Structure 1
Amino acid sequence: MVLTSDDTKSTGRRPARSNQAERGARRPDDRGPVKPGLAARAAASKILAAVIDRKTPLDGMLDGDHGNPAYRVLEDNDRALVRAILNSALRHLPRIEAAIASLLDAPLPEGARALHHVLVVAAAQMLYLDIPDHSAVDLAVEQANQDPRNRRFAKLVNAVLRRMGREKDEILSRTATVPVMPAWFLSRLEKAYGRAEALTISDTQLQPAAIDVTVKSDPEGWARRLNGLVLPTGSVRLANFDGTIPALDGFDEGEWWVQDAAASIPAKLFGSLAGKRVFDLCAAPGGKTAQLIQAGGTVTALDQSESRLRRLTSNLARLGLKAETVVADMAKYATDELFDAALLDAPCSSTGTTRRHPDVLWTKGREDIAKLAALQERLLRHALTLVKPGGIVVFSNCSLDPSEGEEIVARILADIPDVERVAIRPQDWPGLEMAISPLGDFRTTPAMLSLPEGFASGLDGFYASVLRRGD
């Protein structure tokens, strides 16, 4: 549960420069030194292609030990530059593509995807990062020249990007109304929330992702010590933090852990768990497990990944907390000793987290959402068999799509007569009343929770429902 600050917290331009680690390196054909910064831009283009064209999740490719080879060979400052470029490119992709298209006399030829990614990487730097235009243009042209597929387009790259530099303000104004979410997903949001709210949710993708912490006790005191603000969830939001999490007061002592405010809600829906056996299903990395322990429960944490459970155990150890762990496929897990309560924070499309993970909407599609919804329903039906009669199951996920939330619960309630919804009461959640649906479920969106200047507004999109198994 260690989180470092996002490399693209600002929606405007911000410093992001190469440390020029490539200075003095030579091309394989020995034609002389590689231009400083070229390796970082080439890595950004390769990773962008993997995200958009091959639907590869970004986080894994940016792993310093096991990620994309072109990223791993870079020094730390150049890695930070690559992350900044990619986050900006993915957050603003529809606007960047609209800008590029407006400067071309004709669409790029089929098969010119590599060229497309070179232009997007350069445009992201020029339009949304504080990188000199001449540097972005020069390195993009060099990228084109170095790639046999793109060499014949080097002059086009130069012309398009130089014009982009000259017309930057006009381009930014012209593309400001282009929604930054893919059309297929925006249409789903419109159906669920209406056009105006869908566009507002889309725009929040450009806002900085907040850093929230869940504290063991005394939120007001920790807000003062960490320069934060207590939220309606009881979480503490840090004020425009841009530092190292482990260096903060209280981290080593295990007094708090990083957890988005919305992600802290599901575990709170149980109330006191004193004297109760609680099953945390799909538990890693353990933020909700820690909450359940803090609420007094005797917790068993299950995950199908042994390595993820080791991470959970390590995270709990820092907090001075313990839970029994089980490595198993939750859908096949059976026990004669039923639990008093269970939390199922189910695998989902993660479409409520695009401020933190801007690649999500480019690596997932309609089919993925349908498959994940079917999986969630199977898991929820099974979870209800793991609690005693009268036991509570909280079902949650970080998707904005009702097919992964409300529609699943509606089918469960229609199909299983001895399961009932326990309605969440708006009056129990002052400051988040708008997030309680008429039926009594939680539905947060990134457009909720407006905060004072100095604090990032919004929170992740989350769904949560409380279900009781009949006696």
Structure 2
Amino acid sequence: MAKSGVQTRRSAVYLLDQVLGEGRLMSELIGAGALERLEPQERARAQRLAMETLRGLERADRMLQKHLQKYPPLTVRNVLRLATVELCQGGAAHGVVNDAVEIVARNKRTQSMKGLVNAVLRKVAAQGAEAWNILRVPRLPKWLRGPMVAAYGPETVAAMEAAHFAGAPLDLTARGDAAAVAEAVGGTLLETGSVRLMEAGQVSKLAGFASGEWWVQDAAAAIPAKVLNAQEGEHVLDLCAAPGGKTMQIAASGAKVTAVDDNPARMERVRENLERTGLNAELIVGDVMSQKGSYDAVLLDAPCSATGTIRRHPDLPHAKDGSEFGELIGMQSWMIDHALSLVKPGGRLVFCTCSLLPDEGEVQVEEAVARHKDVTVDRAALELPGIDPAWITEEGGLRLRPDYWADRGGMDGFYVACLRKAG
């Protein structure tokens, strides 16, 4: 058991080293097999420990700076951070401290610091949750917080940061009867139709997983397909479709759906989920911009900064620095123009991004309508159960934020708009 704990924590430290030292995303690391040597349960625990440490990184550093004259090398610092978060969130001091010391001692480059690690963590353990809880909620890095404050103001951004720090529950989208799914898994049926589980455990063990009764999808991520409102018999194009939640929503409506994405591995996940749920879609692995045809409706979930998903992916603000924003914003404009060229007269395009930045949402729609005189924003498409009219923005899109439903676990940040082409 002790060896298992050391290996799990050591793997979590490796993830932290890669995110904070190399700027790599957690999903990229997991996909590349970073934790494949661990058993599934320990793999999940290592990932959870790393994510909790990233959420509490600022607090951990504030706790540690009282006991360090200078910061040690990154790996040692990450061992201390990981252990500090565990200790301050109720971890057993004996096991946490011993494992941290052993991790440092195993590495020739860091073994001379095992005494430092032991001494510092004993002091942190003595302070514990009381000192931790009086520290402020961790803030976003300056490169992201600046634009966010400019867009929303400091109070709103602080509320979003609180939602990020709290993490995210598990949301499910039902293939059919959402109320029946909620009852089967012991979840809550949200107003928008998603099923929410505050404590999920192992997803594949939940009732209805094997039989394909539902799939994992944040409540906010499920809304764009609801706005699209695909009808039986319509031909719908889902662009940038992976990992496939929206594809399955459209397929479940009875519409004929063609899903396109340029990532073969992610499209394989779409194929697997379609098989599990018994739904059908035409899958194309290819460039979104090379697609041709004429469709009743198009859904474009455009590549973006993903800043709306930080409550689920706390590595994102630490692995990125905002340098790619300009390129992404330009790409989104081109994709909107191309997607509109694939919409039949009288048809509709739902544009969405999992971003909190107006340049990737509200501004894109304002500029698209200015470029295309035959396109209008369909506000009526947003009149859905659970959608607060206050979430609808001036240009007619829907702005979703992590601090919405804060008392129920929040939601991902998303922007959604329905563009209607003249008949």
Higher percent of residues as helix: 2
User: Is 2:331 the counterpart of 1:375?
Assistant: yes
Cα gap change, 1:427 to 1:39, in 2 (>3 Å):
closer
Pairwise CA distance, 1:450? 4.7
Match among 1, 14, 20 for residue 46 of structure 1: 14
Residues 397-431 of structure 1: per-residue CA shift (max 9 Å, x gap):
11111121112222222223222222246654445
Match among 150, 153, 166 for residue 110 of structure 2: 150
User: Between the two proteins, what is the percent identity of the paired residues?
Assistant: 36
Corresponding residue number in structure 2 for 1:465: 417
Cα gap change, 1:244 to 1:120, in 2 (>3 Å):
closer
User: Is 2:66 the counterpart of 1:107?
Assistant: no
Q: Could you list the runs of 5+ residues in structure 1 that have no partner in the other structure? A: 1-18, 23-35
Alpha-carbon separation, structure 2, partners of 1:254 and 1:102: 51
Residues 92 and 180, structure 1, Cα contact 8 Å, conserved in 2: no
Cα gap change, 1:115 to 1:440, in 2 (>3 Å):
same
Q: Under a length normalisation based on structure 1, what TM-score does the superposition of the two structures give?
A: 0.83
Alpha-carbon separation, structure 1, partners of 2:44 and 2:203: 17
SS at match of 1:464: strand
Cα gap change, 1:449 to 1:328, in 2 (>3 Å):
same
Residues 308-332 of structure 1: per-residue CA shift (max 9 Å, x gap):
3332222122222211222210023
User: Is 2:304 the counterpart of 1:328?
Assistant: no
Corresponding residue number in structure 2 for 1:435: 391
Alpha-carbon separation, structure 2, partners of 1:295 and 1:75: 38
Cα gap change, 1:48 to 1:286, in 2 (>3 Å):
same
Match among 242, 264, 275 for residue 317 of structure 1: 275
Letter paired with 2:50? L
Alpha-carbon separation, structure 1, partners of 2:179 and 2:285: 37
Greater displacement, 353-362 / 197-206: 353-362
Corresponding residue number in structure 2 for 1:448: 404
- Which of structures 1 and 2 has the bigger CA Rg? 1
Alpha-carbon separation, structure 2, partners of 1:276 and 1:254: 24
Pairwise CA distance, 1:213? 1.8
Q: Could you list the runs of 5+ residues in structure 2 that have no partner in the other structure? A: none
Cα gap change, 1:37 to 1:317, in 2 (>3 Å):
closer
Alpha-carbon separation, structure 2, partners of 1:82 and 1:272: 40
Letter paired with 1:307? A
* Matched ranges for 1:252-331 at <5 A: 252-331=210-289
Residues 95 and 180, structure 1, Cα contact 8 Å, conserved in 2: no
Match among 116, 119, 123 for residue 80 of structure 2: 119
Alpha-carbon separation, structure 1, partners of 2:186 and 2:395: 37
Alpha-carbon separation, structure 1, partners of 2:110 and 2:201: 39
Match among 326, 334, 350 for residue 394 of structure 1: 350
Residues 137 and 165, structure 2, Cα contact 8 Å, conserved in 1: no
Pairwise CA distance, 1:352? 1.4
* Matched ranges for 1:47-62 at <5 A: 47-62=15-30
Pairwise CA distance, 1:274? 2.9
Residues 94 and 181, structure 1, Cα contact 8 Å, conserved in 2: no
Cα gap change, 1:418 to 1:258, in 2 (>3 Å):
same
Pairwise CA distance, 1:301? 1.1
After TM superposition, what 4+ stretches of structure 1 lie above 4 angstroms from structure 2?
A: 424-427
Alpha-carbon separation, structure 1, partners of 2:405 and 2:186: 19
Letter paired with 1:381? D
Aligned length: 423
Alpha-carbon separation, structure 1, partners of 2:208 and 2:103: 46
Alpha-carbon separation, structure 2, partners of 1:123 and 1:219: 40
SS at match of 1:50: helix
